[in-house]
Amino acid sequence: MSLLLQSLVLGVLLGGLYALLAAGLTLYFGVMRVVMIAHSAFLILAAYLAWFFTRTTGLDPMISLLLTVPLFFGIGVVMQRLLISRLRPATLTMMSVLLTFSIALTIEGLLGFAFTGTQRRIRLPYGGANFEILGANVAVVKLIAFLLAAVSLGALFLLLKKTQFGQALRATIQHPEAARLVGINTDRVAGYGFGLGLATAAIGGTALALDSTIYPSLHWHWIGPLMAIIVVGGLGSIPGAAIAAMVLGLGQSLLQIPLGTTWAQTFFYIALFATLMLRPQGFFGGRLAQRF
């Protein structure tokens, strides 16, 4: 029983991180109809930066967020303006996949170049600490990672719902032509949307670095589940992505008990195929998903 509870708690904690990252992936897709394969590569890059930051300065990895979040936001804007917007609209979906895929490969290669393929892990003074909640044993770092993700996701949600920029962004996602007609500079909004998406990767990466061992090719273990999440949630829907992330994260965590870690991962892919077979527009998707 306590094992089940343990898995439930871990599932929620993992789901939070998935939700943040899937929200980022949804943003790119929303503003540009781009499936951003490099999202998880940036995630690992941020994790490496956090690790490197702690190793060289001895400070807490979360302080690296002050650097990586603005940096990644900037990279996202530049990437959208200089690379993605160069592609012809007719072939944008396919070519942008290739382009972001090539960015992912380059990042993976450069990480291997700079830090070798050795597995890395941050040593934290509170790294081994746990506490008990309802009989489940939870590592402090996992809780911190979850809180980081939850707070960021909340902030992102408020930004989208309450600010004028958020409104412009949502309008651009829902109907770019109409958004242009009412005077929204959709190009600029798309750039910022990209920046925001990449910023989620920066936060997620730092959260990941707190309690995981990292290595350059780790991003492939993330991109699959994340893409499954955004399809299940309905391409382009941020709440859908968040809900799907929680459900699938919990599912993975629970299935680990009878199946073990490796086979539990297949849960994401089974959910992906099942969704495409039964409800190709996703479970929470709106109009967007129908045509993609």
Query: Angle at the Cα of 166 (from 163 to 169), degrees rounded to 5?
Result: 155
The span from the CA of 235 to the CA of 265, in Å, is 21
Here's the x/- map for other proteins, 3-32, by CB under 8 A: it reads as --------------------------x---
Interaction of residue 281 with other proteins, rule CB under 8 A: yes
Q: Which of residues 168-207 bind other proteins (CB under 8 A)?
A: 174-175
Least distance to other proteins, CB of residue 110, Å: 6
Distances (CA, A) of 34 to 49, 84, 98, 228, 285: 26, 9, 10, 15, 16
Nearer to other proteins, 268 or 283 (CB): 268
Greatest distance between any 2 Cα atoms in the chain: 57
Q: Which of residues 204-243 bind other proteins (CB under 8 A)?
A: 216, 220-221, 223-224, 227-228, 231, 235
Among 37, 208, 210, 248, which residue sits at the site for other proteins (rule: CB under 8 A)? 37
Instruction: Please list, residue by residue across 88-119, b when 16 or more beta carbons sit within 10 angstroms of its beta carbon and e when fewer do.
Output: eeeebeeebeebbbebbeebbeebeeeeeeee
Nearer to other proteins, 93 or 167 (CB): 93
Least distance to other proteins, CB of residue 57, Å: 26
Least distance to other proteins, CB of residue 230, Å: 8
In the 8-state DSSP scheme, what is residue 121? -
The span from the CA of 29 to the CA of 235, in Å, is 7
Nearer to other proteins, 44 or 138 (CB): 44
Nearer to other proteins, 94 or 151 (CB): 94
Interaction of residue 280 with other proteins, rule CB under 8 A: yes
The span from the CA of 256 to the CA of 238, in Å, is 27
CB under 8 A: which stretch of 58-66, 69-77, 97-105, 243-251 binds other proteins? 97-105
The span from the CA of 66 to the CA of 60, in Å, is 12
Cα radius of gyration (the chain): 19
First to last CA, the chain: 42
Q: Which of residues 114-173 bind other proteins (CB under 8 A)?
A: 117
Residues that bind other proteins (CB under 8 A): 29, 33, 35, 37, 83, 86-88, 90-91, 93-95, 97-99, 101-113, 117, 174-175, 216, 220-221, 223-224, 227-228, 231, 235, 262-263, 265-266, 268-269, 272-273, 276-277, 280-281, 286-287, 289-292
